[in-house]
């Protein structure tokens, strides 16, 4: 019974993405990114294919994260405003099951977007490299959909939730480089301020996934990653989704509706 409720909520989440033409919107973005990448390829006098592939992959990756995160945020905000949440919870549905259903639905949406994003890569790169890139993007999008759900349930307002999500994403993509900079500073080694900053940066690295390791365009243009890397990234993503899901449920259980 509970599993059926979760699946039903997930199905309606997926249906919503279909009704608001999310796939069409993303397909248009992919075509635009293709056009921009082709333009860059035309400008290049060497390694044109390399530049085209790398630019297309980076642009589609960023667009996929942006579109998916905004979709999750606006979908839940709309439900808050339309009192759909109260309607669902007036039935015999547990709060935790509602979150699980929504999370499952958004994970399916993330997978579908990753699939759409990966299709053009097959045309420009080898099949194993494109597959690894696509799997990694699916993991990255899954993390971002879980994070977006957590933020909107916690903040309930679009602006702070969106700011947090995109700030988090930016930090997760740059944290490794920041840690490297922190490990070898030009001045101020050993000063209290540097020590505090180091603790802060290393502390953040403990709770934020290193998204710069995911979905690397180098896999498409230079070398395919070992499959073990894909497995490690998938395991890390699964762990983080469980963490975010638990945090979302924690917040949602404490909410007075």
Q: Among 3, 25, 31, 44, which residue interacts with other proteins (rule: CB under 8 A)? A: 44
**Measured from the CB atom, is 107 or 175 closer to other proteins?**
175
- 64 counts as binding other proteins under rule CB under 8 A: no
CA distance 114 to 120: 11
Is position 214 an interface residue for other proteins (rule: CB under 8 A)?
yes
Rule CB under 8 A: choose which of 20, 40, 93, 197 binds other proteins: 40
> For residue 17, how many other CB atoms are within 10 A of its CB?
21
Min dist CB 40 to other proteins, Å, is 6
How far is Cα 146 from Cα 205, in angstroms, rounded to an integer?
Answer: 19
* Listed ranges 23-31, 146-154, 212-220, 229-237: which one lies at the site for other proteins (CB under 8 A): 212-220
Q: How far is the CB of 180 from other proteins (least distance, A)?
A: 6
Nearest to 34 by CA among 116, 108, 111, 113: 116
**Shortest spacing between CB 171 and other proteins, in angstroms:** 10
The distance between the two most distant Cα atoms of the chain, rounded to a whole number of Å, is 64
Q: Which of 176, 198, 229, 236 binds other proteins (CB under 8 A)?
A: 176
C-beta of 137: minimal distance to other proteins in Å?
A: 12
Does residue 174 bind other proteins (CB under 8 A)?
yes
178 contacts other proteins (rule: CB under 8 A): yes
Q: Yes or no: say if 70 and 215 are a contact pair by the CB < 8 Å rule.
A: no
Question: Is residue 236 part of the contact set for other proteins (CB under 8 A)?
Answer: no
* 97-156 positions binding other proteins, by CB under 8 A: none
Which positions lie near other proteins, rule CB under 8 A?
A: 40, 43-47, 50-51, 54-55, 57-59, 61, 170, 173-174, 176-178, 180-181, 211-218, 221-222
């Amino acid at each position: 019974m509970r599993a059926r409720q979760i699946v039903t909520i997930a199905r309606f989440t997926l249906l919503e993405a279909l009704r608001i033409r999310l796939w069409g919107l993303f397909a248009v973005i992919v075509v635009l990114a293709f056009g921009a990448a082709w333009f860059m390829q035309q400008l290049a006098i060497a390694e044109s294919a390399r530049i085209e592939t790398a630019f297309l992959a980076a642009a589609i990756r960023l667009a996929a994260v942006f579109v998916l995160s905004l979709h999750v945020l606006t979908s839940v905000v709309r439900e808050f405003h339309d009192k759909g949440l109260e309607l669902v919870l007036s039935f015999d549905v547990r709060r935790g099951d509602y979150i699980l259903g929504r999370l499952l639905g958004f994970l399916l949406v993330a997978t579908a977007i990753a699939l759409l994003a990966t299709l053009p890569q097959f045309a420009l790169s080898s099949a194993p490299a494109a597959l690894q890139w696509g799997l990694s993007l699916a993991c990255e999008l899954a993390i971002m959909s879980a994070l977006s759900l957590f933020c909107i349930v916690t903040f309930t307002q679009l602006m702070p939730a969106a700011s947090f999500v995109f700030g988090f994403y930016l930090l997760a993509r740059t944290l490794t480089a920041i840690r490297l900079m922190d490990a070898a500073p030009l001045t101020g080694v050993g000063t209290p301020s540097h020590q505090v900053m180091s603790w802060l940066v290393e502390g953040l690295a403990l709770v934020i996934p290193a998204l710069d390791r995911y979905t690397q365009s180098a896999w498409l243009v230079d070398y395919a990653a070992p499959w073990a890397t894909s497995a490690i990234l998938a395991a890390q993503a699964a762990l983080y989704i469980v963490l975010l899901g638990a945090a979302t449920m924690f917040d949602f259980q404490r909410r007075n509706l």
